[in-house]
């Protein structure tokens, strides 16, 4: 993979329950909303499950995701193509933490920060279904 090794861990407070945060991260119908304009593979199940592989696109950038782990308060995705590495999410009542490590030409910390802010805005507007 061409790029530089990057790592970032961010944690923010979110005025939402652990369940609302979890659903926003593991239910494609919800994460498609707050991660716009990213596009995701068609035909995703209602909930992410271990072993599932899917693709996201942001313009010409394609990232392959393999769901490595899904637990009550943890999601780990192995990434390839546009980013070679992993993305871990941890959450609880009122907080979410994102840890991202990988090789990429993309500014991963900037993308991670924007995504956390989008998640917080989405949950604060009560748009979960």
pLDDT one-digit tens code per residue, 22-70: 999 999 999 999 999 999 999 999 999 999 999 999 888 899 999 999 9
Cα 94 from Cα 76, distance rounded (Å) = 20
| % of the chain with per-residue pLDDT over 70 | 97
Kindly report the pTM of this predicted structure. Answer: 0.92
- The position carrying tokens 């996201």 is 56
Measured CA distances, 23 to 40, 63, 70 (Å): 17, 22, 12
Q: Walk me through the domains of the chain, giving residue ranges and CATH numbers.
A: 4-124 (3.30.530.20)
């Amino acid at each position: 993979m061409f790029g530089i090794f990057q790592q970032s861990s961010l944690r923010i407070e979110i005025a939402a329950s652990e369940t609302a945060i979890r659903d926003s991260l593991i239910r494609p119908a919800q994460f498609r909303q707050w991660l716009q304009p990213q596009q995701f593979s068609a035909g995703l199940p209602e909930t992410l499950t271990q072993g599932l592989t899917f693709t996201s696109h942001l313009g010409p950038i394609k990232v392959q995701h393999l769901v490595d782990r899904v637990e009550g308060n943890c999601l780990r995705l192995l990434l390839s193509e546009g980013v070679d590495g992993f993305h871990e999410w941890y959450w609880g009542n009122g907080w979410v933490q994102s840890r991202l490590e990988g090789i990429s030409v993309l500014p991963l910390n900037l993308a991670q920060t924007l995504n956390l802010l989008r998640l917080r805005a989405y949950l604060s507007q009560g748009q979960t279904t």
